[in-house]
Structure 1
Amino acid sequence: MYKLAGELTQNNARVQVAAGNAAITQGQLDFDFSDLVQIDSTAVASMIEWQREAAKKHQTLHFHSVPVSVISLIQLYGLTGQFQLSPAERH
């Protein structure tokens, strides 16, 4: 499982996307958001890019511990069917 950490914002999205694409190339198909401490709407664009990368290899990604705020944006944009999501557990 590929664990994102730190932040996924417009400040570092390119770095995170590149790292995620490298993980996909290495066979990682499960992305875990649980260690992210800051996230913004850039996450949705990053997820779309990762899905594209996986699709090139005829693979499907699974996103785990996705924050409710990101799931809400995905729903707002009408992209719910595009992703396999497991929401973050509420504490």
Structure 2
Amino acid sequence: MNLSFTSACPGGIHAPARAPVFVPKPVKVELSLTGFERLTPRERELIERTIVTGVVKLAAEQMGITNKTAEAHMLNAREKTGHRNAIHLAIAYERWARGAA
């Protein structure tokens, strides 16, 4: 079997152009370590389990609470500490716990 390729490109077949790869620049975020003393024991437990499991839903399941209740606890914890998301909350909590221990 003889295969021949023709191309409109001068010089024959060319590989398709590759899309440029997007590499985000690191962003430095200042994480507040205040407000953690105001958390309830249940909020602290949820944050600790979320750090270990990596997922709020799994932490909630381990604690025997609904995902909706867990999200409410996380929202309350973020509001008390001033963090915008669960990732920042978890990182700051770990730093705070190491400093407080």
TM-score, length-normalised on structure 1? 0.29
TM-score, length-normalised on structure 2? 0.26
Larger-Rg structure: 2
Q: Which has the higher strand share?
A: 1
